Structure 1
Amino acid sequence: MAWIRSTCILFFTLLFAHIAAVPIKYLPEENVHDADFGEQKDISEINLAAGLDLFQGDILLQKSRNGLRDPNTRWTFPIPYILADNLGLNAKGAILYAFEMFRLKSCVDFKPYEGESSYIIFQQFDGCWSEVGDQHVGQNISIGQGCAYKAIIEHEILHALGFYHEQSRTDRDDYVNIWWDQILSGYQHNFDTYDDSLITDLNTPYDYESLMHYQPFSFNKNASVPTITAKIPEFNSIIGQRLDFSAIDLERLNRMYNCNDKNIICSHNSHSFGPLYF
């Protein structure tokens, strides 16, 4: 029996030594929860390729445009949701990860649908788009081909929560230049501004870092010429970032929904955390 015991010890020692010697490759943490591992395109580029011409590029208008100002379009939490069967497994994972980021950084919460009249159904249609505010019926968020990235999903959920794009603010011309002659014909309306009857900045400054800002080359005729640039040139590489919420995005969200510190687990830097739903 002693020789059998010695043989087993030797076998497992060699096995563990072999395992320790095998290199293990890890995906970068920021990519783990994104479904598309190729080059990430922005929303306007995806929707143009899909032949879509929506309000502000990715907003589906069913009723009123007044999603941000009208208190009747505010959601009651948790928001019921459905993940449609036509979504891929990785897309569903990216959506669930986006939910966790909202939970960590705001009082926004989500729950599986149980027959409520107001709910969001995530489906794979053409392009990335959403409606603005609670429509009090079942409403879609499209997570089409190329849209299944955490920050793009966060962007579309922010529309559903009541937010428009940053550069549609009335004061935007103080902060960015719009190069109208470089915009695709028929798409100039995506660069219109709107007064306080439609949108509000919730008493926050213009935010070059907002997840809701257009990228410099949105709706452009020439691939190498921008349609929107920052008046502070250092921000040209920042506008249109698709990494995560900015600090001001979160401030506005928490003001709109009267979130308080007790509801918020982590600061806006918590995007470095890994998955929380495994």
Structure 2
Amino acid sequence: MFKIKEKKFKFLQKDVNNKIKEIIKKEENPSPTIAQINRGLGHNFYQGDIILNLKQAEFLFSKFNLKRNRRQAINSVTFPTSLWLNRTVPYTFGNSISEERRTRIRQALSFWADQTCLNFREEELFQSNPSETRLQFGKGNGCSSYVGKQEGDQYVSIGEDCDQFGIITHEVAHALGFFHEQSRWDRDQFVSVSLDNIRHGYEDQFDKESEEENDNQQVPYDLGSVMHYSECELIISKSLKCQNVNFDFLDAFSSPDAHNPVLSAKEPYNQKTMGQRIAPSFLDVLLMNKRYMCLDDCKSRGVECKNGGFPKPKDCSQCICPWGFGGKFCDERGSSVGSNSNCGETIKVGISF
């Protein structure tokens, strides 16, 4: 379903890399990453921006089999009971959230609502008869979220510099049940981790889940996921030449030592897709739809989508298309990054098939 001829695949990946460079070059002052925003707060969070509930923390720091069973414990608590099973996610805003920031958060929620079968219902902070469980967006310290549905008002921090579309959709994805992409059990097939380049004390942030506990719904590993760490995440020293905006597709083959990242893609033309915070990728959207069984809504009446696309859950006559494809049936070449197409308009950068 997701296979594309190798030559076309490499051409598309090179094109993706060039598009990302164009976007970055247009930014005189590139937006900081979540790790940069949360610098100094890192030890308060799991994996840099995840808030643990009491049960998760107890499992994590249990004196029994701490290292081996840490992630398995988290997953046993988190899935499947942490999903929003009725597909409706109530939310509210804390008083610290400005109207401008509320608008950006609503845009991020609208993205997930439009691309999946999920619905988001806004409530007043102090309304009578509020939902028993709801997301409460606040301007706390940094960018952070719990993973999956919790009890009561569930805090999502959209702090200073966190109000970027890609970051907000990232934190919302945590709240909907997503961990980081690079913690998948099959990660080592696609990226190498240089432990010597990781800041001291943060090495365990790159632990993997076990195959038994990590259900990825058969969705391929995605270096372009909005949930993936960047190549420089938790780098030990700024002196390491890691964030090279002028990285070139061919340089990856001719100059393998040109930079020293924490994460290195096994296929070098994918190197600069890691850590993008532009928008959720096609595979992020596919996984969310599979996780919440949204694809079942169009099983008997959905349009037949080509090239790995799938019917849009809330309008089965439309297709959601992988990056590089467009048209009603995903059988045409997609439009450029940043254009206003109707199919996959905001999920076009950094896709791995």
Shorter-chain-normalised TM-score: which range?
A: 0.7 to 0.9
**Unaligned segments of structure 1, at least 5 residues:** 1-29, 31-36, 273-278
Residue type of the partner of 1:85? N
CA deviation string 1:8-53 (max 9, x = no partner): xxxxxxxxxxxxxxxxxxxxxx9xxxxxx95311111111144554
Match of 2:151 among 136, 153, 162: 136
Partner SS for 1:125: coil
Match of 2:45 among 45, 54, 60: 54
Do the aligned partners of 1:106 and 1:250 also contact (CA within 8 Å) in 2? yes
Match of 2:345 among 244, 248, 270: 270
Partner SS for 2:221: coil
Q: 1:124 to 1:144 in 2, by over 3 A?
A: same
User: How far 1:264 sits from its partner (Å)?
Assistant: 3.4
2:71 matches 1:70: no
Q: 1:196 to 1:42 in 2, by over 3 A?
A: same
Q: 1:138 to 1:198 in 2, by over 3 A?
A: farther
2:74 matches 1:39: no
Do the aligned partners of 1:165 and 1:212 also contact (CA within 8 Å) in 2? yes
User: How far 1:89 sits from its partner (Å)?
Assistant: 2.4
2:289 matches 1:254: yes
Q: 1:133 to 1:219 in 2, by over 3 A?
A: same
Partners of 2:77 and 2:39 in 1: CA distance: 25
Q: How does 1:1-278 map to 2 (within 5 A)?
A: 39-50=30-41, 52-62=43-53, 63-64=55-56, 65-66=74-75, 70-75=79-84, 76-113=86-123, 115-223=130-238, 224=241, 225-259=260-294, 260=297, 261=311, 263-265=313-315, 267=320, 269-271=344-346
Partners of 2:147 and 2:77 in 1: CA distance: 8
Partners of 2:110 and 2:198 in 1: CA distance: 36
Partners of 1:264 and 1:226 in 2: CA distance: 41
User: How far 1:252 sits from its partner (Å)?
Assistant: 0.7
Q: For the pair shown, which has the larger CA radius of gyration, 1 or 2? A: 1
TM-score (norm 1): 0.79
Partner SS for 1:104: helix
Do the aligned partners of 1:216 and 1:240 also contact (CA within 8 Å) in 2? yes
Do the aligned partners of 1:130 and 1:160 also contact (CA within 8 Å) in 2? yes
CA deviation string 1:82-114 (max 9, x = no partner): 111101222211101101111211112111235
Q: 1:262 to 1:236 in 2, by over 3 A?
A: closer
CA deviation string 1:40-67 (max 9, x = no partner): 1111111114455411111100133227
User: How far 1:240 sits from its partner (Å)?
Assistant: 1.0
TM-score (norm 2): 0.63
Do the aligned partners of 1:125 and 1:143 also contact (CA within 8 Å) in 2? yes
Partners of 1:54 and 1:69 in 2: CA distance: 16
Partners of 1:116 and 1:196 in 2: CA distance: 35
CA deviation string 1:201-239 (max 9, x = no partner): 111111111111000110001222421111111111111
Q: 1:67 to 1:214 in 2, by over 3 A?
A: farther
